[in-house]
Amino acid sequence: MKKLAIFGSVIVLFCLLIWGYFYFNSEPSNVAEEAANSTKTVDVLEENDILVFTPRKSDAGISVILYPGAFVDALSYAPLANKLASSGYKTYIAEMPLNLAVFGKNRAADIIDEAPDEKFVIGGHSLGGVMSSRFAHENESEIEGVFFLASYPDKKGSLKNASFPALSITGTKDDVLNKDAYDKNKKYLPKDTTFVSIEGGNHAQFGSYGAQHGDGKATISEAEQTDQVSNALIAWLNTSVKNQER
């Protein structure tokens, strides 16, 4: 009977995942599709289920690994990745099984192993941020910093003793992010954490995939939010990450 109960629970969980995938799964916008095209300053390619945005003219010495939010296609973050790469930061967006980072926490290991000469920061949007912090917690020596887009570390991904810096970016119109959990879990952030609040920004506009169920209405455009997020990330990379002593 116990085995049957476990089997039944697995079937229910599987069905819920499939339902969630088709009900909540978001498609990249046309803007995201366009941002995934190579330009005069950025080369874009897909290899081993990873989108890679490589600067053509310069290399800032730090590469970025980004984990997508739950049920969000990796391509949806192409506008942000393109801006980072245009500023010299090679950016990898990891595609996730069923578009859920909980099933791909260690995708960063594949990227790092294939690029031994690169230094990395890692982060993600929503669930992607949680799972990226768990990877960083288990692989601190491989990471130069962690960033959170409408996200936070949990106990399993505690970074409170980490020697590297962190960046936390939120939007004032975000109704998806659990504010109580966000505040409660600040204790798991490194001492060197920079906080940025985007006035008028919501949850979905950290990517480019349209409206999200339960989200607040943004009072700034998606393009403006992408600009502010990329500017905050670049400023953090240029200062906190590059100037740290480890």
Residue 22: the pLDDT is: 44
Separation of alpha carbons 82 and 103, rounded Å: 25
Mean pLDDT of the chain: 90
Q: How many residues does the chain have?
A: 246
Structure confidence at residue 6 as a pLDDT band (50, 70, 90) = very low
CA angle 172, 101, 213 (to 5 degrees): 45
Query: Which structural domain, as residue segments, surrounds residue 194?
Result: 1-245
Distance CA 56, CA 217 (A): 37
pLDDT in tens, 132-166: 999 999 999 999 999 999 999 999 999 999 999 99
Can you tell me the mean pLDDT for 54-60? Answer: 83
Distance CA 213, CA 78 (A): 21
Residue 105 φ/ψ, nearest 5 degrees: -55, -35
Rg (CA), the chain: 18
Determine the average pLDDT of the residues in 189-196.
98
Helices (H), 166-221: 179-184
Largest interatomic CA distance in the chain: 64
Give the model's pLDDT for residue 13.
37
- Tens digits of per-residue pLDDT, 9-53? 434 334 434 434 444 557 999 999 999 999 999 999 999 999 999
Which contiguous run of DSSP H or E holds residue 34?
helix 30-35
Rounded Cα gap, residues 165 and 151, in angstroms? 16
pLDDT at 5: 42
Domain of 202, CATH number, reads: 3.40.50.1820
pLDDT of residue 245: 59
The number of folded domains in the chain is 1
> What pLDDT is stored for residue 60 in this prediction?
73
Helices (H) and strands (E) in the chain, counts: 7, 8
Report yes or no: 181 and 130 within 8 Å, Cβ to Cβ.
Answer: no
End-to-end CA distance of the chain: 55
Phi, psi angles (nearest 5°) of residue 33: -60, -45
> 239 pLDDT exceeds 60?
yes
* Rounded-to-integer distance, Cα 65 and Cα 25, Å: 22
